[in-house]
Amino acid sequence: MRGRRHAALLKAQVRKDLSADIQEKLPWRPFGRQTMLIGTPKEIKDNEFRVGLTPATVAELTYRGHRVIIEKSAGVGSGLTDDEYRDARAEIVETPEEVFDRAEMVVKVKEPQAAERRIMRPGQILFTYLHLAPDLVQTQELIASGSVCIAYETVTSSSGGLPLLTPMSEVAGRLAPQVGAHALEKERAGVVFCWAASPARPRQTC
């Protein structure tokens, strides 16, 4: 009984937080059990090899009744094959245009590039990192598209944290010493003491 009361209070709060114009744009009902068609295109930003949905996430979504479409080879850069997505009950499509044309919600990693922004449509939900502050053109084009854009970096937990930025910070923190040491190696005109120094020569230069 307590769980039902909590769910009712949560729904009431969500209704209060969502403005009427946003609710009208949503292609799904946020208060029922209606399923969605979710799509993930292949990332086209230079040197971006990640993918918006992994096969494990797709399996969770399809288990809960949602349909998922994935652009062909979208996960290759992350070592994920189309067959792994098929095993998770995703449908593989040939082009990004088909993903954006059919999907009610598009899940990406990086901000949509110009070619992607041109094929977004009113009411479609975009869930990705956006970083709008330094990018006026992207901001204006996303507004003009009429899409409902949710930036990962603005999602806030009940405690005030940023749960979708935390893992990015953790990865960056772990890689910083490795990347810094590599950049300071002698072959790159730098001098750095080797981490793998021997007891006889504890301070070697690489």
Which of 133, 154, 175 corresponds to the end of one domain?
154
Interatomic CA distance for residues 67 and 39, integer angstroms: 8
| 20 inside domain | yes
Overall domain count for the chain: 2
- Does 93 lie in the same domain as 33? yes
Three-state DSSP state, 24:
helix
| 159 inside domain | no
Whole-model pTM? 0.75
* 3-state SS record for 133-191: CCCHHHHHHHHHHCCEEEEHHHCCCCCCCCCCCHHHHHHHHHHHHHHHHHHCCHHHCCC
Fill in the DSSP letter of residue 53: -
Q: Which pLDDT belongs to residue 12?
A: 52
**What CATH number corresponds to the domain at position 16?**
3.40.50.720
Q: Which pLDDT belongs to residue 31?
A: 47
CA angle 82, 83, 87 (to 5 degrees): 120
- Does 149 lie in the same domain as 201? no
Interatomic CA distance for residues 148 and 23, integer angstroms: 10
- Does 98 lie in the same domain as 19? yes
Query: pLDDT by residue for the chain (206 residues), tens digit each?
Result: 455 555 555 445 545 555 555 555 555 454 455 789 999 999 999 999 999 999 999 999 999 999 999 999 999 999 999 999 999 999 999 999 999 999 999 999 999 999 999 999 999 999 999 999 999 999 999 999 999 999 999 999 999 999 999 988 999 999 998 888 888 887 777 766 566 555 665 555 55
Q: Which pLDDT belongs to residue 189?
A: 74
Q: Which pLDDT belongs to residue 164?
A: 92
- Does 204 lie in the same domain as 128? no
Query: Which residues, 6 or more positions from 53, have their beta carbon under 8 angstroms from its beta carbon?
Result: 38, 40, 61, 68, 70, 107
- Does 97 lie in the same domain as 10? yes
- Does 177 lie in the same domain as 139? no
**Please, are residues 111 and 135 in contact by the beta-carbon 8 Å criterion?**
yes
Query: Which residues, 6 or more positions from 142, have their beta carbon under 8 angstroms from its beta carbon?
Result: 112, 117, 120, 126, 130, 132, 149
**Please, are residues 163 and 155 in contact by the beta-carbon 8 Å criterion?**
yes
| 71 inside domain | yes
Which tokens belong to 60?
A: 């969770």
- Does 127 lie in the same domain as 28? yes
Find the helix or strand (DSSP H, E) in which 71 lies: strand 67-71
Domain that holds residue 58: 6-154
